[in-house]
Amino acid sequence: MTGQPGRGRPLDPTTQDRVDLGFTRGDTLLVTGAASGIGRAVALNAARMGLRVSAWDLQAGPLATLAEEIGATGGEVMTVVGDVSDEATVRDGFAELAGRFGPARYLANNAGPPSSVPLEFDEAVRISVGSVRRMTETWAATGLPEGAAMVATTSVAGNLVGTESDWYSASKAAVMGYVRHLAAHRAGEFRSNGVAPGMTDTPRLAGYADSEAGQHILGRIPLRRMGSADDMALAILFLLSPLAAYVNGVLLPVDGGWTVTQ
Ligand SMILES: NC(=O)c1ccc[n+]([C@@H]2O[C@H](COP(=O)([O-])OP(=O)(O)OC[C@H]3O[C@@H](n4cnc5c(N)ncnc54)[C@H](O)[C@@H]3O)[C@@H](O)[C@H]2O)c1
**Among protein residues, the one whose CA lies closest to atom 15 of ligand 1:** 202
The pLDDT of 68-81, averaged and rounded, is 97
The pLDDT of 228-238, averaged and rounded, is 97
Residue 5, pLDDT above cutoff 60: no
Give me ligand 1 centre to Cα 43, in Å.
Answer: 13
Q: Is 208 a catalytic residue?
A: no
> pLDDT tens, 175-216?
999 999 999 999 999 999 999 999 999 998 888 888 998 899
Residue 9, pLDDT above cutoff 80: no
**Atom of ligand 1 lying closest to residue 111 CA:** 24
Tell me the β-bridge partners of 254. 197
Which domains are delineated in the chain? 20-261 (3.40.50.720)
**Among protein residues, the one whose CA lies closest to atom 36 of ligand 1:** 33
**Among protein residues, the one whose CA lies closest to atom 40 of ligand 1:** 112
Residue 75, pLDDT above cutoff 50: yes
Residue 2, pLDDT above cutoff 50: no
pLDDT of residue 16: 54
Is the distance from the beta carbon of residue 228 to the nearest atom of ligand 1 less than 6 Å? no
Tell me the β-bridge partners of 53. 29, 77
- The count of other CB atoms within 10 Å of the CB of residue 110 is 28
13-17, 195-199, 208-212, 233-237 — which is least confidently predicted? 13-17
Distance CA 111, CA 128 (A): 8
**Atom of ligand 1 lying closest to residue 41 CA:** 16
Residue 8, pLDDT above cutoff 90: no
Answer for the pair 39, 14: CB distance below 8 angstroms, yes or no.
no
Ramachandran quadrant class, 207 (left: phi over 0; alpha: psi -120 to 50; beta: rest): left
Is the distance from the beta carbon of residue 159 to the nearest atom of ligand 1 less than 6 Å? no
The pLDDT of 222-239, averaged and rounded, is 96
**Atom of ligand 1 lying closest to residue 157 CA:** 6
Backbone angles phi and psi of 29, in degrees to 5: -120, 130
Mean pLDDT, the chain, as a whole number?
A: 94
